[in-house]
Amino acid sequence: MANQDLLVYRDKIDAIDEQILALLSSRAACAKAIGHIKQNQTVAMPFYRPEREKAVLERLMDMNPGPLPDKEIRRLFREVMSACLALEMPMDIAYLGPEGTYTQAAVLKQFGHSVNTVPLRTIPDVFKAVQSENAHFGIVPSENSTEGVVTHTLDMLLQSDLRICGEILLRIQHNLLSNAESLSAVKAVYAHEQALAQCRNWLNRYIPHADLRPVSSNGKAAEIAATEANAAAIAGQMASDFYGLSILAAGIEDETNNTTRFLVIGNQQLTPTGDDKTSLVVSANNHPGLLHQLLEPIARYKVNMTRLESRPARQAIWEYVFFIDLEGHEHDEKTASLLAEIKRTASFFKVLGSYPVGTVF
């Protein structure tokens, strides 16, 4: 006989679900109305507003009474907004593929599941897709646990007129994916070489007998593991769903605090949120003390520099270009006057974008 209390709670859940459904529908109708307003402006108004989405998520997490953890509230409302935005404008998001890579996981973290994801083969292909308006936005790795600093992305940012419209921080969890019966049956492990390096201790300890085979991406590794008997791949949860592989072991990375960063590239200028970052690239003729001269105003303004990267310049007149990330938005008063000072010393100066600071969640 069914437990009476259980039935009482199930009735309550049914009634609550009806309310949630009605509320979701009202919310979606509001988003649709906003979509019409955006569409009817004489000056084009962006449909996707990451700064607004960030505010929505943060407000709800702050208000969260429990028992659901903030992370789950974020994930659920991320999907609600994704579905609402799709009613306003179906979004095409290009990313560095193949499917099942961590870059795809970054797309879904930022945009939710209601976007059309377009995997492309190279980073320049992703830039081209956005430039030619075949995609609304593109996602590329910036500092990737599997490749370190992604120099290709920096080079493309330097050349292209696209802007950085967001950063996505993703905690990387490596899993051993396979259709083998057990760990002892695994004969070969495929992965990007950096992923193999990051799981070395675990692999030595639990499957010392397996042959380690580096391949071009963890997505590719999963694709191979799905067809080859007794093969395994190191990849994320996404790849396990996509290639139908079981997770033989989860969280096998030796360093558990492994976060990687991806960039959203697009054509959009975002408004300040109060918690933003600005990326810029500068250069000047090389002379002793150049870097100090370029950076001195940042220290004087007491602004946090979160990243500094130097790259050989393509044009011979400057030997190096410097990629700098600062806290603040280019339209914040203080940041604007700091940028004006840096611009005065630099012979080449370009703001790559101001965008909301990403969260690790």
Ligand X SMILES: C=C(O[C@@H]1C=C(C(=O)O)C=C[C@H]1O)C(=O)O
Q: Rounded to the nearest whole angstrom, what is the least distance from the CB of residue 84 to ligand X in the complex?
A: 3
Closest residue by beta carbon to ligand X: 84
Q: Rounded to the nearest whole angstrom, what is the least distance from the CB of residue 259 to ligand X in the complex?
A: 25
Q: How far apart are CA 41 and CA 29, in angstroms?
A: 19
Q: Rounded to the nearest whole angstrom, what is the least distance from the CB of residue 89 to ligand X in the complex?
A: 9
Nearer to ligand X, 111 or 242 (CB): 111
Nearer to ligand X, 39 or 285 (CB): 39
Using CB atoms within 10 Å of the CB of residue 210, give its burial: 0 to 12 exposed, 13 to 18 middle, 19+ buried.
Answer: buried
Phi, psi dihedral angles at 157 (to 5 degrees): -65, -35
Q: Give me the residues paired with residue 214 across strands.
A: 191
Q: Rounded to the nearest whole angstrom, what is the least distance from the CB of residue 164 to ligand X in the complex?
A: 17
Q: What share of the chain is helix, strand, coil (3-state, %, to 5)?
A: 45, 25, 30
Token pair in block for residue 208:
């010392």
| Binding region for ligand X (CB under 6 A) | 31, 34, 48-49, 52-53, 56, 81, 84-85, 88
Nearer to ligand X, 7 or 37 (CB): 37
Nearer to ligand X, 81 or 186 (CB): 81
Identity at 343, one-letter amino acid code? K
CA neighbours closer than 13 Å in the CB half-sphere of residue 119: 13
Nearer to ligand X, 115 or 186 (CB): 115
Q: For tokens 């992604």, name the residue.
A: 150
Cβ count near 320 (within 10 Å): 14
Q: Rounded to the nearest whole angstrom, what is the least distance from the CB of residue 88 to ligand X in the complex?
A: 6
